Amino acid sequence: MALVHLAEADAAKTTRLRRGDTVELRLAESPTTGYRWQVRPSVGLATITDEHIPAATRPGAGGERRVALDVTEAGTHELRVELARPWEREPDRALTFLIEAE
């Protein structure tokens, strides 16, 4: 079982993994602005961690969203994340990560 780290630069690329591997995604996030990353994994990806890690500099500063998912099934899976405020209908940004699992 491997741990694979993904970042925003990996969006729209295909990452090849095996069933049982773990994917960790880290994205810049500043929840005090109301914007938060919403994680929308497809079937075959199980979320094990979804947390905000604050910046160590000062209270209210940004930080990052850390999401870890286990690959539970072989096949092609889509991990979509959307940066949005909960009260708005459309996300400000959306990223899609493709996982090809054996």
- Structural domains of the chain, count: 1
Cα–Cα distance, 101 to 72 (Å, whole number): 9
List all residues 6 or more positions away from 70 whose beta carbon is below 8 Å from its beta carbon: 20, 21, 22, 45, 46, 48
How far is it, in rounded angstroms, from Cα 81 to Cα 94? 6
Is the predicted pLDDT of residue 79 greater than 90, yes or no?
yes
Domain with 73 in it: what CATH number?
A: 2.60.40.2020
Distance CA 79, CA 1 (A): 19
Give percent of the chain above pLDDT 70. 99
Examine the pLDDT at 61 and tell me if it is beyond 80. Answer: no
Kindly tell me if the per-residue pLDDT of 74 is higher than 90: yes
Domain holding 34, by residue range, is: 3-101
- 12-27 tens-digit pLDDT: 999 999 999 999 999 9
Q: Is 99 exposed, middle or buried (0-12, 13-18, 19+ CB in 10 A)?
A: buried
